[in-house]
């Protein structure tokens, strides 16, 4: 896989081997923990990819559109792999992949980034007249934007199915996999699913603008900057469990010693066990409830941040985002 050098966009090289750009010597610094950090995302991702392929291989889908869809699937995956060497993307991701961040929240960070930043750029490349993408692959257009949009929407329902399926996996949900197996879904992942749909639809709209924009590079840069800022804000909230610096075992030990010292006598072992179980359950439930809340708020923040980039470009008269012939004419009369 090759990549367009960020310093000299004409140069294409392969940074995943740690090689330097042949033209300017820029060496991509690799994120060593990339695969381990994004395991949960990657598991869900390959499931989604399989389902998208199944949709594209339906006999009702024209060859042109199948090739276009294939291009998107490859393009999305290339962008995901590029996370390991793109500094701005890595800065975003490191906020989510730290010790003590609830794993469902880390997963949401990955999912939101991919949909709000990677998707619109790949779709835009497939719709515009770009000779080759950042990875040196020749994009395939759909038979028409309308046909493409219908095929794109057809995939929507798959996301809930995939998220429900993976809710029961320890890799994705941790200990919550147990209650998820009984409920056959997990509220945190359902909330994530709703934002996945919203962000994915917005990505389609953003892609239409990017594809025709005369300031595409600028818009893309603003997009990652805004998404990063929105995430940094969400991570700063005192109600976000990702921010808590007291590690769970220590907090539990504190609770337990409080219970033991605070009157539960050894002559009532059953009462003592009940209190300990109740405290652990209450604590876990609070962390979970706040995680769900954080996933929801992050989705909303990124959704608004991405939209605001295009809104401000439109209202800023010095930054014309579309060439004159594509600008809507005022209605006559
Ligand atoms: Zn270079």
Report d(CA 18, CA 210) in Å as an integer.
Answer: 31
- Taking the centre of ligand 1 as the mean of its atom positions, its distance from the CA of residue 91, in whole angstroms, is 21
Q: Mean pLDDT of successive 10-residue segments in the chain (333 residues)?
A: 71 70 80 90 95 93 96 94 87 90 94 98 94 88 95 92 94 88 92 97 96 90 96 91 72 70 64 80 88 96 97 71 65 57
- Taking the centre of ligand 1 as the mean of its atom positions, its distance from the CA of residue 23, in whole angstroms, is 5
- Taking the centre of ligand 1 as the mean of its atom positions, its distance from the CA of residue 13, in whole angstroms, is 8
Cβ-based burial of 36 (10 A; exposed 0-12, middle 13-18, buried ≥19): exposed
Phi-psi category of residue 186: left, alpha or beta, with phi > 0 → left and psi -120 to 50 → alpha? beta
- Taking the centre of ligand 1 as the mean of its atom positions, its distance from the CA of residue 26, in whole angstroms, is 5
pLDDT at position 262: 63
- Taking the centre of ligand 1 as the mean of its atom positions, its distance from the CA of residue 261, in whole angstroms, is 64
pLDDT at position 7: 79
- Taking the centre of ligand 1 as the mean of its atom positions, its distance from the CA of residue 134, in whole angstroms, is 13
Residue range 248-298, pLDDT digits in tens: 667 667 767 766 676 555 567 777 778 778 888 888 888 899 999 999 999
Report d(CA 29, CA 19) in Å as an integer.
Answer: 10
Residues with CB under 5 A from ligand 1 (ion): 5, 7-8, 11, 21, 23-24, 26
Task: Please report, for residues 47, 57, 59, 163, 191, the alpha-carbon distance to residue 51 in angstroms, rounded to integers and kept in the order given.
Answer: 6, 10, 15, 12, 21
Residue identified by tokens 């991570």 is 235
- Taking the centre of ligand 1 as the mean of its atom positions, its distance from the CA of residue 192, in whole angstroms, is 37
Could you tell me how many residues make up the chain? 333
Helix H segments across 142-268?
Answer: 145-154, 156-166, 170-173, 177-183, 187-212, 216-236, 248-261
pTM for the complete prediction?
0.87
pLDDT at position 4: 72
- Taking the centre of ligand 1 as the mean of its atom positions, its distance from the CA of residue 216, in whole angstroms, is 20
The answer to whether 39 and 80 are in contact (CB under 8 A) is no
- Taking the centre of ligand 1 as the mean of its atom positions, its distance from the CA of residue 211, in whole angstroms, is 24
The answer to whether 162 and 266 are in contact (CB under 8 A) is no
- Taking the centre of ligand 1 as the mean of its atom positions, its distance from the CA of residue 87, in whole angstroms, is 15
E strand or H helix that includes residue 12: strand 12-13
The answer to whether 135 and 2 are in contact (CB under 8 A) is yes
pLDDT at position 330: 63
- Taking the centre of ligand 1 as the mean of its atom positions, its distance from the CA of residue 7, in whole angstroms, is 5
Which token pair is 242? 């990702």
- Taking the centre of ligand 1 as the mean of its atom positions, its distance from the CA of residue 14, in whole angstroms, is 11
Please list, in sequence order, all residues whose beta carbon lies within 8 angstroms of the beta carbon of residue 263, skipping any fewer than 6 positions away.
none
The answer to whether 80 and 118 are in contact (CB under 8 A) is yes
- Taking the centre of ligand 1 as the mean of its atom positions, its distance from the CA of residue 162, in whole angstroms, is 39
pLDDT at position 13: 72
Which token pair is 268? 């009532």
pLDDT at position 273: 78
What b/e sequence results for 279-299 when a residue is b if at least 16 CB atoms lie within 10 Å of its CB, and e otherwise?
eeeeeeeeebebbbbbbbbbb
- Taking the centre of ligand 1 as the mean of its atom positions, its distance from the CA of residue 86, in whole angstroms, is 13
Three-class DSSP category at 266 = coil
Report d(CA 286, CA 82) in Å as an integer.
Answer: 36
pLDDT at position 88: 87
């Amino acid at each position: 896989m090759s990549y367009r050098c960020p310093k000299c966009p004409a140069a294409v090289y392969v940074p995943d081997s740690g090689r330097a750009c042949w033209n300017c010597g820029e060496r991509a610094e690799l994120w060593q923990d990339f695969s381990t950090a994004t395991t949960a995302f990657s598991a869900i991702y390959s499931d989604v990819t399989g389902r998208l392929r199944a949709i594209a291989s339906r006999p009702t889908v024209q060859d042109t559109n199948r090739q276009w869809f294939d291009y998107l699937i490859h393009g999305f995956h290339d962008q995901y792999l590029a996370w390991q060497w793109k500094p701005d993307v890595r800065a975003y991701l490191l906020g989510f992949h730290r010790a003590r961040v609830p794993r469902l929240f880390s997963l949401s960070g990955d999912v939101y980034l991919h949909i709000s930043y990677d998707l619109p750029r790949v779709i835009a490349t497939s719709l515009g007249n770009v000779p080759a993408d950042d990875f040196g692959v020749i994009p395939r257009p759909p038979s028409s934007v309308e046909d493409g949009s219908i095929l794109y929407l057809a995939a929507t329902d798959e996301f809930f199915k995939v998220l429900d399926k993976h809710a029961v996996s320890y890799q994705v949900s941790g200990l919550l996999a147990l209650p998820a197996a009984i409920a056959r879904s997990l509220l945190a992942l359902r909330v994530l699913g709703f934002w996945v749909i919203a962000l994915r639809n917005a990505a389609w709209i953003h892609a239409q603008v990017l594809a025709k924009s005369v300031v595409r590079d600028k818009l893309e840069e603003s997009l990652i900057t805004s998404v990063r800022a929105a995430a940094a804000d969400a991570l700063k909230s005192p109600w976000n469990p990702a921010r808590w610096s007291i590690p769970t075992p220590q907090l539990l030990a504190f609770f337990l010693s409080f219970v033991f010292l605070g009157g539960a006598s050894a002559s009532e072992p059953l009462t003592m066990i009940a209190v300990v179980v109740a405290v652990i359950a209450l604590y876990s439930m609070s962390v979970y409830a706040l995680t769900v809340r954080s996933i929801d708020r992050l989705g909303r923040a990124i959704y608004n941040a991405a939209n605001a980039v295009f809104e401000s470009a439109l209202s800023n008269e010095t930054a014309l985002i579309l060439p004159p012939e594509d600008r809507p004419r005022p209605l006559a009369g």
